[in-house]
Structure 1
């Protein structure tokens, strides 16, 4: 082992401590960084959360699986457009989601799931009357789509139409009492 003076050992120790603190600080700042999130305008009226944690049965969430981009939408593919709209909806970018759901419905006017999601997005932007109208139009396309009944009941309950909400929840329960939508409809009916 080489012979170093006390001053040399002191410099080596200080250098090691400094190096360790720098690595710690850099690592900590890396893990504490938050991604930049675009601000979206708050809804004009306070709203309750969606009755189910996952409004889309496909389970798409931002950052998971394939999420199309605006560039991908050059084709008139309603499924691709609806998937991107679902991504905007999950990010609470409701105006962009509304635009894309409307576009998907002009291409495929029988897509009941897009009616459902468009109705919820309209509700979250304070357009309650339009939301109810869209959900009713979706029910006319497919009256057996259970989730749209749950969404209609949810919105009617939020705007104060308890009788209409109860009827929608009861129909959702009638369409399937034992699945997740039916169970949620029972819970919400009990809260009226």
Structure 2
């Protein structure tokens, strides 16, 4: 057995204790966060049908993961907090719950085009394509220069077989920003339907 100095043994002991405390803290944090998150969310609806057309488009179109608000925050009429929870449901592909909350946001803030976009996409993913198109067109009419809703509208129209209308929406998205991520995705999708 090698002989270590007192200082070496002290460093080894401190490193082991630190490692043990770090593992304990990470494990405890994981289980505390999991229990809080699951206790705040209603159970997922088992009958929700997920649309089969979920793919690379989601990387561009899904809202960013955001901090989930507490149940107390949902008792208020703060559209930003409600939209954050709806986005969380959307990311989990729990579209019926997301739809309910997006509709609530639009009741409070009827000109929120981002919410029209997310609601339309959620409706499409549960198979309500016609309603999705109507919601997206309504949002696009409120703010025609909102690039992301043009891309989503083009995507949904292309999936429902309306290639001419989809091309127009994709071209509009490209006009609004040909070099950014949304514009590049619109260009890619447009090339797939031509």
d(CA) in 1 for partners of 2:56, 2:181: 14
How far does residue 140 in structure 1 lie from its aligned partner after superposition?
1.4
How far does residue 44 in structure 1 lie from its aligned partner after superposition?
6.8
8 A Cα contact 1:88 1:94, kept in partner: yes
d(CA) in 2 for partners of 1:103, 1:154: 24
8 A Cα contact 1:116 1:138, kept in partner: yes
- The DSSP-based 3-state class of the residue aligned with 2:118 is helix
Structure showing the higher helix proportion among its residues = 2
- The DSSP-based 3-state class of the residue aligned with 1:181 is helix
The 3 A distance-change label for structure 1 pair 187 and 160 is same
**How many residues were matched structurally?**
154
Aligned pairs for 1:1-192 (under 5 A) are: 40-41=46-47, 43=49, 46-49=52-55, 51-56=57-62, 59-60=64-65, 66-192=67-193
Determine which structure has more spread, i.e. the larger CA radius of gyration.
Answer: 1
**Superposed CA offset, 1:22-76 (max 9, x none):** xxxxxxxx9xxxx89957445275324362404256x225xxxx21133321110
8 A Cα contact 2:60 2:182, kept in partner: no
d(CA) in 1 for partners of 2:73, 2:167: 41
Question: After the TM superposition, which parts of structure 1 deviate over 3 Å for at least 4 consecutive aligned residues?
Answer: 35-42
The 3 A distance-change label for structure 1 pair 93 and 69 is farther
The 3 A distance-change label for structure 1 pair 124 and 166 is same
d(CA) in 1 for partners of 2:174, 2:139: 18
d(CA) in 2 for partners of 1:174, 1:54: 17
d(CA) in 2 for partners of 1:114, 1:50: 21
Alignment-derived partner of residue 27 in structure 1: none
Structure 2 alignment gaps of length 5 or more = 1-26, 28-33
TM-score by length of structure 1 reads: 0.73
Root-mean-square deviation (CA, aligned residues, Å) is: 2.2
d(CA) in 2 for partners of 1:79, 1:45: 27
